[in-house]
Amino acid sequence: MRFHVTTGGATAQRTDCLMLPVYQGGPLTAAVKAADRVLGGTLAALIDSEDFRGKAGDTLLLPAAGDLPFRRVLLVGCGPRKDFDRQQLRKALSAAFGAWRKTRLKRAACFLTLERARGSDAARRARIAAEVWHASAYRFTAMKSADEEPSPAASELTIACRGNEAAAARRGLAQGDAIGQGQNLARELGNLPGNICTPSYLAQQARRLARGDRRLQLQVLDEADMRKLGMGALLSVTAGTKEPAKFIVLRYRGAAQNKAPVVLVGKGITFDAGGISLKPPPQMDEMKYDMCGAATVLGVMQAVKLLGAKLNLVGIIPSCENLPSGTATKPGDIVTSMAGKTIEILNTDAEGRLILCDALTYAKRFKPAAIIDIATLTGACLIALGRYRSGLLANSDRLARRLEKAGELADDPVWRLPIDPPYQEQLKSNFADFANVGGRDAGTITAGCFLSRFTEDQQWAHLDIAGTAWQQGPQKGGTGRPVPLLMEFLLNG
Ligand code: BES
Ligand code: MN
Ligand code: ZN
């Protein structure tokens, strides 16, 4: 998709599809009024007669007869004006792009971005437009033997802004384009099945990103390297599978060498059967998404690379499968982590924290400004927060507040949970330094407590994305979250 900005009026647009915002219950928007004048009052008549009510998500495609620079008008419902906020804008844009994709129209000019959605400026609206475009254009086709729909003609999108907003809109558009692509990469990796998207496959994807880019440098450690580093916790998880584990380190240098990087650590369990503590069969297929933390890291790297962002970033992906077998780790086994701490593995299904703790220890060598890990870590997080907000746990109030703010702005929100010392008690073990589980109570918090023991001297935050990284139901699939949150944090946080 080619994106452009226009400061021209609606009737001046040489385009195939002129997208015009309509509020439910009025008033008519400036763009509709202008188009209505050259269309002989037909738009106002349709809206007055309530043939088109402007409900959020409704669209109506109309021919533009006569000698006009635009061929079609797409009326797009935005809901009541008093409710028009970023969410409504997203909904309306999504409907508009969905309707456009069903046509053979190549070029569209969108005037929804001219409307002042609450909590947005021109840059934000442009960014949202590009993000929503990528989300509505995403289809998972990699594993389908035949196309289910014809490839759409849509190829050029112009968004409207005011005369003094062009630079801001262009910047927002570029960000949204990059973030949307990064998010789609994360969606795609999440959706790919465990037999394709293996640890080696993730390493290949990292290689593809790094190739030919001087700012990106890739290192992939194999199990022998991990053994040398003493990553006993990570290795205990991969013990039950023949599929080789990979430890992926992707460095991006876009700022001065002495500027401390942010380190992102993404959980990369490419399939989580639970190990010897085997999961029950229902919905076990969804455990292919257990590498969505890793997918987020690669999605963010993709977006940062596309933008050529002036920042330093390290992505670390510990990746393996968690399967049962005769060589698998058993409940009661005690392992030694890279940090030297011993862990009693009471439940082999609490494997995410075991691969993350060694990655968090490894992360320290980069002397990071902050470490943020991203993981589909606990079912308890789904119970606590559902699928709207990701869980946030942190040992730094400042870092937590910055992430909270970034999440709100990016419409990719989080909710902070505590990691007070009393919760640490639940990890007590009679036989090792501590256990890998803390019982049923406060499962998301005790997982955070476990991780906090490996980041004591660091600015660290943990995002539990078990609920937000994928959707169920007819839209089943990866969401690409929290790529928007992390990009907001990295670019403006
Ligand atoms: N990958 C799962 C967490 C998960 C569960 C994500 C459901 C998305 C949906 C994780 O490895 C896991 O199995 N966690 C256990 C921890 C428990 C054994 C302490 C869980 O949440 O049940
Ligand atoms: Mn598990
Ligand atoms: Zn898991």
pLDDT in tens, 255-305: 999 999 999 999 999 999 999 999 999 999 999 999 999 999 999 999 999
Q: Which amino acid is at 20?
A: L
Whether the predicted model's global pTM rises above the 0.85 cut: yes
Write down all domains in the chain, each with its CATH number in brackets.
2-162 (3.40.220.10), 184-492 (3.40.630.10)
| Residue 342 pLDDT greater than 90, yes or no | yes
In the residue annotation, 440 being an active-site residue is answered as: no
Share of the chain above pLDDT 90, in %: 98
| Residue 135 pLDDT greater than 90, yes or no | yes
Q: Where are the alpha helices (DSSP H) in 192-314?
A: 199-210, 223-229, 232-238, 292-307
**What are the pLDDT digits (tens) for 441-490?**
999 999 999 999 999 999 999 999 999 999 999 999 999 999 999 999 99
| Residue bearing the CA closest to ligand 1, atom 6 | 466
Ligand 2 centroid to Cα of residue 132, in Å, is 32
pLDDT of residue 153: 96
Q: Which atom of ligand 1 is nearest to the CA of 443?
A: 19
Following CA atoms 273, 279, 283, 289 in sequence, which dihedral angle do they give, to the nearest 10 degrees?
-40
Alpha carbon 483 to its chain centroid, in Å, reads 3
pLDDT of residue 149: 87
Work out the number of other CB atoms within 10 angstroms of the CB of residue 43: 25
CB 457 within 8 A of CB 365: no
pLDDT of residue 14: 97
Q: Which atom of ligand 1 is nearest to the CA of 347?
A: 18
pLDDT of residue 165: 98
pLDDT of residue 148: 87
| Type and span of the H or E element at 167 | helix 166-191
pLDDT of residue 66: 81
Q: Where are the alpha helices (DSSP H) in 79-120?
A: 86-101
CB 395 within 8 A of CB 419: yes
In the residue annotation, 72 being an active-site residue is answered as: no
SS3 427: helix
* Token output for 405: 């703010």
CB 34 within 8 A of CB 44: no
- Residues within 5 Å of ion ligand 3 by Cβ? 269, 272, 290, 352
CB 332 within 8 A of CB 276: no
What's the rounded Cα separation, in Å, for the pair 23 and 75?
Answer: 10
Ligand 2 centroid to Cα of residue 376, in Å, is 9
Confidence of residue 492 (pLDDT cuts 50, 70, 90): confident
First to last CA, the chain: 28
Ligand 2 centroid to Cα of residue 306, in Å, is 33
| Residue 427 pLDDT greater than 90, yes or no | yes
Confidence of residue 56 (pLDDT cuts 50, 70, 90): very high
| Residue 20 pLDDT greater than 80, yes or no | yes
**What are the pLDDT digits (tens) for 189-243?**
999 999 999 999 999 999 999 999 999 999 999 999 999 999 999 999 999 999 9
Q: How confident is the model over 38-45, as a mean pLDDT?
A: 96
pLDDT of residue 386: 98
Following CA atoms 405, 409, 414, 417 in sequence, which dihedral angle do they give, to the nearest 10 degrees?
20
| Residue 493 pLDDT greater than 80, yes or no | no
| Residue 413 pLDDT greater than 90, yes or no | yes
Confidence of residue 65 (pLDDT cuts 50, 70, 90): confident
